[in-house]
Amino acid sequence: MKILVTNDDGWGSTGIQVLESVAANFGEVWTIAPENPMSGISHQMTFERPMKFVKKASRSYSLDGTPADCVRVGLTQLETEFDWVFSGINKGANLGSDTNISGTVAAVREASLFNCPGIALSQHLKQFNKPHDWSKPSELSKRVIPLILEREIESRNWFNVNFPDTGDNDSKNVKIVETKLDPNPLPAVYQDADDGQIIYCGKYKDRVRTLGFDADVCFSGNISITIH
């Protein structure tokens, strides 16, 4: 099996290194990832300028473009037929309405347009700027990915997986829950800044969440999976 790996945090970020290592347990790994961080870029594509495409290592490239660009280039320009696209592991959750703005998720959505199934994987962080133990999402990925790969799916299916932040607690008792996307928007909170500007200051953890949907599942300490 051949797997194309990408992300929106940029080539060489910790999350993609973890995912590359995990993916190697399931097949031959190729990587094309954005040269720079592209969080929140959604499904933007680059058409108006050339993109720098650099070979970093064997079967590993950076692209001066978006996550969706990376997938499209990988699926059409490498002369390699891929079985799956894996995107992540994102630093921060991509739950509910986040899927509309996430570059991580857009990468696997782009893959589906080319009849290649994909898995987006993200790690919820209660305190975003504090160091995180990446061994936990590595361990949880090894539990989740085989369950998805074993499923009978359509070529256009993609999956959105979010890992909970378990803190110092053991991850062995974390459940895997297939659920639905939470329909609630993120908090629309803004503050005035200098010179007539405004800045977003909504708190991610304070988002409204529907009982049993993906945000609630993840915030409650379990792995959420949605299928599309």
Amino acid at 149: L
What is the distance between the alpha carbons of residues 90 and 110, in angstroms, rounded to a whole number? 17
What is the distance between the alpha carbons of residues 158 and 201, in angstroms, rounded to a whole number? 31
- Give the position of tokens 């696997």: 108
- Answer whether the bond into residue 3 is a cis peptide, omega within 30°: no
Percent of the chain with pLDDT over 90: 90
Element (H, E) at 60: strand 60-63
Q: Which domain holds residue 206?
A: 2-227
**Single pTM value for the model:** 0.96
Residue 41: which pLDDT band, with cuts at 50, 70 and 90? very high
- Check residue 4 and give its pLDDT: 98
Tell me the chain's radius of gyration from C-alpha atoms: 17
- Give the position of tokens 């939470």: 182
- Check residue 132 and give its pLDDT: 85
Number of Cβ atoms within 10 Å of the Cβ of 56: 14
- Check residue 172 and give its pLDDT: 81
What is the distance between the alpha carbons of residues 117 and 103, in angstroms, rounded to a whole number? 16
pLDDT digits (tens, 9 = 90+) for 170-212: 788 899 999 999 999 999 999 999 888 999 999 999 999 999 9
Number of domains in the chain: 1
What is the distance between the alpha carbons of residues 15 and 90, in angstroms, rounded to a whole number? 6
- Check residue 126 and give its pLDDT: 92
DSSP label of 47: -
- Check residue 67 and give its pLDDT: 98
Q: What is the CATH number of the domain that holds 222?
A: 3.40.1210.10
Phi, psi of 186 (to 5 degrees): -70, 155
Q: Mean of the pLDDT values across residues 130-150?
A: 94
